[in-house]
Structure 1
C-alpha cells in the first residue's frame, strides 16, 4: 500500500505554500462565458494561452525583442477557473541563456465572493528571442556585449 501511495503523490503537482502571487504581474483579464468548456468551467486551453501571453510579454521585455514559445514544461492545473474570475498571470525569471529565457508562470484568480487570490495554475515556459527574419538572436546581458 505504501508503494501505491508513493506513486500517487508523485503524479500530483508540487505543493506551493505561498498565499500571494510571486513575480511580476504580466496580464490580468476576466474569464468570460465564451471561454468555457463543455462542463461550464473555463477551458484549460484558454488559461494556458493567457499564461503564454503573459510569459511572452515578460520574456520580450527582458530580451528587448520578439520572442516565441519553444517549450511548456510542468503545467499544473491546481483548481478550476470560473466565469467571472479575475485571472492574473505573474512571471518569475528562472534563467536566461544565450538565446532563450525560461520563466516560471503562475495564474491566480480573484473570485467574486472571495477576499484573497487563489493559485489555479503554474508552469515553466521557455521562449527564444528572434530577429526580424524569425531567426534566434542573442539576448544582451550585463557584462556580455550583444552581437549583430
Structure 2
C-alpha cells in the first residue's frame, strides 16, 4: 500500500478504550516517514512518551524522567495523514514512580470514525528533583 492509501488499516476495526483518557491527538506528516513511506516507528515511540507523561505530570507537579518502556509492539503501519489518538491510564503509583499504559489508535483522515489499534506500551516515569535524583511523589 502507498503512504497515501485510504484503504482500511485492518480487517477487524477496534474501538478506542472507554477506561482511558484521551491525552493526545496528532497527524503524522511526510517528514516523519521511514524508507518504506510509512511513519517511522521511532517517531511514534516519541509521541507515546509524550502522551504517557501527561497524567503523571498532573500528579508529580514537577520534573520527571522516563525510566522504562515495556512491551512496545507495532500491530500495523501508521500512514501519512492518519489521525493518531493516544489514550492513557495510570496502572501503578509507587513512592517515586508512576507507571502508565498508553494505547494508540489510528483513523484515516478521509474515513474518520473507524479506528485501528496500532500500538500499546507500558511506561514508567520517576519524579526527580532539581539535581535529577528521585524524589517522593506528593500524596
> How many pairs does the alignment contain?
125
Q: CA deviation at 1:18?
A: 5.9
Task: Find the structure with the greater CA-based Rg.
Answer: 1
User: More helix per residue: 1 or 2?
Assistant: 1
Q: 1:20 aligns with which of 16, 22, 34?
A: 16
Asked whether the 8 Å contact 1:23–1:91 carries over to 2, the reply is yes
Bigger drift between 91-100 and 114-123 goes to 114-123
- Structure having greater relative contact order (Cα 8 Å, sep ≥ 6): 2
1:56 aligns with 2:43: no
Q: Superposition RMSD on alpha carbons, in Å?
A: 1.5
**Which of residues 22, 35, 44 in structure 2 aligns to 1:47?**
44
Q: Tell me the distance in 2 between the aligned counterparts of 1:24 and 1:90.
A: 5
Structure 1 unpaired stretches of 5+: 1-16, 142-148
User: 2: distance between equivalents of 1:19 and 1:28?
Assistant: 15
Give the one of 122, 125, 136 matched to 2:123. 125
Task: Give the C-alpha shift of residue 106 in structure 1.
Answer: 0.7
Deviation at 1:50, TM superposition (A): 0.2
After the TM superposition, which parts of structure 1 deviate over 4 Å for at least 4 consecutive aligned residues? none
